Amino acid sequence: MPELPEVETVCRALKKNIKSREVSQFKIFNRNLRWKIDSKINKCVHKNILLEIIRKGKYLLFVFTDGTLIIHLGMTGILKFFVSYKNLKIENHDHYQIIFKDGTSIIYNDVRKFGSLHWSNKIENNFLIKNLGVEPLSNKFNADYLYGVGKKRKVAIKNLIMNQKIVTGIGNIYASESLFLAKIQPNKKSNRLNQQNYIDLVSAVKKVLSIAIRKGGTTIKDFKTIDGKPGYFHQELSVYGRETCPCELNIKLKKIKINGRTSFFCGKCQK
Ligand SMILES: [Zn+2]
C-alpha cells in the first residue's frame, strides 16, 4: 500500500516526466473508485493549464489554473506514464487517462479500486484535504508539537502518529519502523512518554521517511517504462513483516493488533 514515500516518489517522477502544461483530453473508463468519479471532471480539466504537481500527505495534487485534481492511490493504485498516447492498449483496471498537448499521457490503474479522484475549486475547503495534519518532513512536525498533542491524549503511540489529523502520510509500515528506530513500544500510551521519547520519535519518523524517499528515487526509472511498472519499491524493513529482530539478539518479534492493524515490535529493543 502506497504511503508517503511512495507517493512522493510518484510525485517526483511525474514532475520529471510531464513537460506539457495543457490537457488536451481527459478520459474516464470506469467511474467506480472509492467515490464515484464526477463525470464533470472532464470539462474542468479539459484545456486547463497545469501549474504544478505537489504531494500533500498521501494525496497527489495537480494544480490547474481553475482548480485542483486530487488523486489518491488507495491500496493498489498506480499512475502509468506514456511518452505517446497513440496506439495505447487500455488494460484491465485502467480507470482514467490524462492526455497532454505534447502527446504524453498518464493512466490510472487500480485493481482494488480504493483510490479516488476529485476536482476542487477551493482546495483548502475540500473534505479530503482540510483536516490533514502537519507534514512529517516539515518543521511544523517537531518534538514540542507531538509532545503537546500526545500528553493530552491516552492513545497507543502508534495510533497517535497514524492519526492523519495530527500528522499526515504515516501508515502502518513507517509507523512500525519509526517506533523501532526510536526504541518505543507501539502500544505505549501517548501520555506516558516523556519529552526525550518524543524527540527520538520525531527524528526517527523523519529519518525513516527520508531514507525511503531516497530509495524510491533510485527506482524512478521503473516508473517511466511503458509496461506500466509502478513507482513503488521493495526495501528492507527492520520490523514490519519480519519474523525476527535485526538486533544482535535476533529474537522473535512480537506481533500484536493495535486498532485492527498488525504491529511488529521487539520486546527487548523497544521499551
Ligand atoms: Zn531487538
Phi, psi of 5 (to 5 degrees): -60, -35
The predicted-structure confidence for 60-76, as pLDDT tens digits, reads as follows 999 999 999 999 999 88
Cα(80) to centroid of ligand 1, in Å? 39
The predicted-structure confidence for 180-222, as pLDDT tens digits, reads as follows 999 999 999 999 999 999 999 999 999 999 988 887 654 433 3
14: closest CA among 258, 211, 231? 231
Within 13 Å of residue 260, how many CA atoms lie on the same side as its CB?
Answer: 0
The predicted-structure confidence for 215-265, as pLDDT tens digits, reads as follows 765 443 333 333 344 444 456 788 888 889 998 888 999 999 999 999 999
- The predicted structure's pLDDT at residue 34: 96
Cα(239) to centroid of ligand 1, in Å? 9
**What CA–CA distance (Å, rounded) separates 191 from 247?**
28
Instruction: Tell me which residues are annotated as active site.
Output: 2-3, 58, 261
Cα(258) to centroid of ligand 1, in Å? 20
The predicted-structure confidence for 97-108, as pLDDT tens digits, reads as follows 999 999 999 999
What DSSP designation does 226 have? T
Domains of the chain, earliest start first = 4-125 (3.20.190.10), 143-265 (1.10.8.50)
- The predicted structure's pLDDT at residue 234: 54
pLDDT at 137 > cutoff 90? yes
Backbone dihedral region for residue 85 (phi beyond 0: left; psi -120 to 50: alpha; all else: beta):
alpha
Cα(244) to centroid of ligand 1, in Å? 8
pLDDT at 1 > cutoff 80? no
Query: CA of 176: how far to CAs of 10, 173, 189, 195, 212, in Å?
Result: 22, 5, 15, 20, 14
